[in-house]
Each structure stands twice: as structure tokens, then as C-alpha cells.
Structure 1
Amino acid sequence: MHDLLTDWYFWIKSLHVVSVIAWMAGLFYLPRLFVYHVEVVETGSKTDKLFQTMERRLLRAIMNPAMIATWVFGLSLVAVPGIVDWSMVWPWVKAASVLAMTWFHMWLARQRKSFVSGTNSISGRQYRMMNEVPTILLLFIVFAVIVKF
């Protein structure tokens, strides 16, 4: 199995990067949709239903598969011999950040359900602030992986 992972290392790494880009695009966009949904759209209107459809499709068709692929390819990379030195700090920072990113993804999914049920209680300003979470986590991940501190 290790030989297979080593032989396919660059393909796995490429697929991991593509998956991360797709996941991040959704993590940046969905909270932005929530901002407009809260600030502009009247609950129960046709536009409300349109936003709900866009949010559901973004989450289910792009974000969920991209998150799963990111995890699968990322864990495959971790399994390649000699790639990760767990005695260093960087893999732990990356792992904690990816777990936090996954939590944020799940939080967004719960918020989407609050729009569907008409019980959203978060303001546009709060969604704008939450929109910064994936950026901060992305910075931790990129600097941890590239600088390897």
C-alpha cells in the first residue's frame, strides 16, 4: 500500500489541492449568501426560496463532496512514508485547523437549516464576521505546510 501511495503521491497531492480550492470557495461564498439572505430577502418570498435552493445546492453539490475529497486525499498524503514528521509543530497546527474548518462547515450546514425553518437569528453583520473564519484558518494551514515550523 505504501508503494502505491508513494507512486501516486503527486496525483494525490494535486487532487488534494483541487479539493481544498473547491471547499474553500464554498466556505467563502455560503456565509456571503447568508448575509444577503438576512439583509435583503423577506422570509417566505420567492426570493427566499431561491436563496434556499442556491444555499442547498452549494452545500450539497460542491462543499460536501469537496470536504470529503479533501479529507480522503489529505489522509492519503499523511499515509505516505516520510511526508509528515509528527515531532514537528506544523502537522498539529494543520490538523487542528482542518478540524476547525470542518466544524465551521458543519456550523454553516446548521445555519442553512435555520433559514429553511424560518428560525435564523443571526444578523448580516455576524455572518460577515463569521466569513473571516475560513480565511484565518487558511492562513494557519498554508503557513504551517509551507514554512513547516
Structure 2
Amino acid sequence: MMDWIVVNYAWWKAVHVISVIAWMAALLYLPRLYVYHAETAPQGSPQAATFEVMERKLLRGIMNPAMISSWLFGLLTLTALGFDVLATAGWLHVKLTLVILLTVYHMLCARWRKELAVDPARRSGRFFRMVNEIPAVLMVGIVIMAIVEPF
């Protein structure tokens, strides 16, 4: 079975990158929806209901599957490389730590979606504008670790 994983390394890596692109797009867009929801949609309004549907569909239909496939194909890629790379690649430790932080951010986004449905005024649009920068900063670190492999 391990041979099959190693032989298909390029496919795992390609699907991993595609998954990460979809995940990042959703991570950058969802908090933007939260800004509009928090600033313009009073609870119970048709506009709030529209934002809730958009947020739920983005989270459940794109963001969650993209995160799961990013992890799955990333782990398949790591398996194809051999887990012994973990002993020598400091860059990989940093990358995985940043990916874990991105996953935590993802979970916070899911929590904020539920909070917005109950009370759109709980967090301000300014709050969501600020936290919207987090995935971009993490992405820069992840890409640098994966491409440059500085240590």
C-alpha cells in the first residue's frame, strides 16, 4: 500500500494545493460576510436571513470540505515523503504549527457564525475586519515554510 501512496505523490500534492486554495478563499471571504452581517442586518430581518444562509453554505459546503481535504491530502503527501522528514525539517514543524493555528481560526469562524445568528450586534464589523487579516498572515508563513524551507 505504501508504494501506491509514494507513486501518486504528485497527485496528492496537487489535490492538496487545490484544497488549500479553496480553504483560503473561504477563510478570507467568510469574515467579510460577517462584517456586512454585523453592520447592516438587524436580527430577524430578511437581509440577516440571507447572510445566515450565505454564511452557513460557505462554511458547510466549501470551507469544511476544503479544510478536511487539505489535511487529508497534506498527510498523504507527508506519508509519501516519509515521516522521518519530521525529524530533520524544522520548517515543517513551523508549517504544521501554523496550519493548526489556521484550523483553530476556522473553528472560531464557525463559532462566530452561530453567534451572529443569535445576536448580530455582539461583535462589531471592525472586529471582523481585524480578524479577517489572520488567515492571510498565517498563509504567508505557511507558504514561506513550504516553498523556501528556511531551516
1-side partners of 2:120 and 2:48: how far apart? 13
Give every structure 1 segment of 4 or more consecutive aligned residues whose post-TM-superposition deviation is greater than 6 Å: none
- The residue type paired with residue 66 of structure 1 is A
Q: Is the 8 A contact 1:84 1:91 kept in 2?
A: no
Q: How does 1:3-18 map to 2 (within 5 A)?
A: 3-18=3-18
**Corresponding residue of 2:53:** 53
Quote the offset at 1:2 in angstroms: 2.1
Q: Is the 8 A contact 2:38 2:120 kept in 1?
A: no
1-side partners of 2:25 and 2:61: how far apart? 13
- The residue type paired with residue 63 of structure 2 is M
Quote the offset at 1:118 in angstroms: 2.2
Q: Is the 8 A contact 1:77 1:83 kept in 2?
A: no
Quote the offset at 1:131 in angstroms: 0.3
Q: Is the 8 A contact 2:102 2:138 kept in 1?
A: yes
Q: In the TM superposition, what whole-angstrom CA distance separates every residue of 1:10-46 from its partner, at most 9, and x where no partner exists?
A: 1111100110000001000000000011111111100
- The residue type paired with residue 10 of structure 1 is A
**Corresponding residue of 1:97:** 98
1-side partners of 2:147 and 2:83: how far apart? 13
- The residue type paired with residue 30 of structure 1 is L
Pair 46,114 (structure 1): closer, same or farther in 2 beyond 3 Å: same
Q: Which residues of structure 1 form unaligned runs of 5+?
A: none
Secondary structure of the 1:52 match is helix
Q: Is the 8 A contact 1:15 1:73 kept in 2?
A: yes
Is the aligned partner of 1:136 residue 2:131?
A: no
The structure with the greater share of residues assigned to helix is: 2
Secondary structure of the 1:146 match is helix
Is the aligned partner of 1:126 residue 2:127?
A: yes
Secondary structure of the 1:121 match is coil
**Corresponding residue of 1:117:** 118
Quote the offset at 1:4 in angstroms: 0.7
Q: In the TM superposition, what whole-angstrom CA distance separates every residue of 1:84-116 from its partner, at most 9, and x where no partner exists?
A: 722221101110011000000000000000112
- The residue type paired with residue 27 of structure 2 is L
